[in-house]
Structure 1
């Protein structure tokens, strides 16, 4: 595959994180593909920007344009996966492929009640305390090189209620009907909540398949960064070859 044929890749982070979530993937893939990771509204360097799905889709579209290589493979994790689904609906001409990582559960129905509860509780906890908890959590579970960029970029707790408030109640497998590009549903094997709808999501799209990262949980790209990267790399090569 020539460099000119390589599909561009845009990474979209999950709840409370930032573009730093993808530091391992960017380092591993940048010699093969044009790659970039974005900060969603209210996160990272866009901390002061109000959250909205509309703004999120425009940020993803701008990232695709910045790579100047045509439609891109968009890799979205959790909140970023649902933002990527909205992007696929609004800007299909910008999409060459979609990876939904930890984002194949319906955000409708009674199972979302705990998430609404958390969204309501977060503003009542001091942000510095939430930051200490998250720093300890990440450093206890993962090697420094995997999470240091995420920790350094900080967390978007202030955005969480608004972001979840817009996503909850909005997405189910029917959203896959609006995706005009091939889809890879990529989940951690041990992420039961966000795997709950993976079969429904896959059945709702004619060119979707499911792949699991063994022993990984919701933060699969932290649990198994090399395995996660390899799956994205293979999918990107398949898209490049098909083109």
Structure 2
């Protein structure tokens, strides 16, 4: 799902890596746990930090977990953070409703993949249409991952984040629910709303998202004091 961003950053000479969380992509056979997801993010960040300042970018589930990670009591070696399609507190009625909808969708014939593919054909440009599901769909990890989000303390995490921070959302993203709260909790953050985009903003409007990414890369490069370029 990050192909358009990886190609864009490579063309700019910015080293970048997209990781799979447990239960997803190349790790789809693994059991998802919140601890294992945080460990995967931490391992990638610390590996990249050996080569320069790190710009962390997360989307949706990954964005929520990255928010918890970036706002840990002991700050990780992150020089900037782009939180994409994840400005919602995953608790209470909203989370229960999301899990119920996901369960109903998965109960459809073929887990509703035919409907997913139809929606992607109708909303994503042809150049990114195949990217979103190219690593497979994490059906088995879905409910476990959603349920685990309820223990995240994003309010505390956001208050602790001191590095440059951007919230990037599609105009029609359902996870804009607590957007204003997130900005109050992290008043130094910048909000970027991409017009005519849904939750899948990275694939639906890749040029616009990449422009926001370029801004974040430039800021991290300017604030770095070691003379080395950023890694995403």
TM-score scaled by structure 1? 0.82
Aligned to 2:221: 240
Q: Which runs of 5 or more structure 2 residues have no equivalent in the other structure?
A: 225-232
1:180 is the counterpart of 2:162: yes
Q: Which runs of 5 or more structure 1 residues have no equivalent in the other structure?
A: 1-20
Q: Is the 8 A contact 1:107 1:171 kept in 2?
A: no
Alignment root-mean-square deviation, CA: 2.0
CA 1:54 to 1:71, structure 2 compared with 1: closer, same or farther past 3 Å?
A: farther
CA apart distance, 1:156? 0.5
- Separation (CA, whole Å) in 2 of partners of 1:219 and 1:190: 10
Aligned to 2:82: 99
The higher-RCO structure (CA 8 Å, 6+ apart) is 2
Q: Is the 8 A contact 1:187 1:211 kept in 2?
A: yes
- Separation (CA, whole Å) in 1 of partners of 2:149 and 2:158: 15
- Work out the number of aligned pairs and report it: 221
CA 1:60 to 1:94, structure 2 compared with 1: closer, same or farther past 3 Å?
A: same
Which structure: greater strand fraction?
A: 1
CA apart distance, 1:232? 1.0
Which structure: greater helix fraction?
A: 1
Query: After superposition, what is the alpha-carbon deviation per residue over 1:175-230, rounded to whole angstroms, capped at 9, x for unaligned?
Result: 30232322101111222x32121121111124212111112111111221100011
1:111 is the counterpart of 2:99: no
Select the residue among 196, 203, 226 that pairs with 2:184. 203
Aligned to 1:13: none
Select the residue among 102, 120, 126 that pairs with 1:144. 126
> Which 4+ runs in 1 deviate beyond 6 A?
none
Aligned to 2:117: 135
TM-score scaled by structure 2? 0.86
Q: Is the 8 A contact 2:55 2:81 kept in 1?
A: yes
Aligned to 2:4: 24
Any residues of structure 2 matched to 1:10-21 within 5 Å, and which?
21=1
Query: After superposition, what is the alpha-carbon deviation per residue over 1:80-131, rounded to whole angstroms, capped at 9, x for unaligned?
Result: 11110122134623211111111111112333331131244355445x3433
CA apart distance, 1:48? 1.1
Select the residue among 210, 213, 223 that pairs with 2:204. 223
Q: Is the 8 A contact 1:185 1:211 kept in 2?
A: yes
Classify the secondary structure of the residue corresponding to 1:25: helix
CA 1:89 to 1:53, structure 2 compared with 1: closer, same or farther past 3 Å?
A: farther
Q: Is the 8 A contact 1:102 1:195 kept in 2?
A: yes
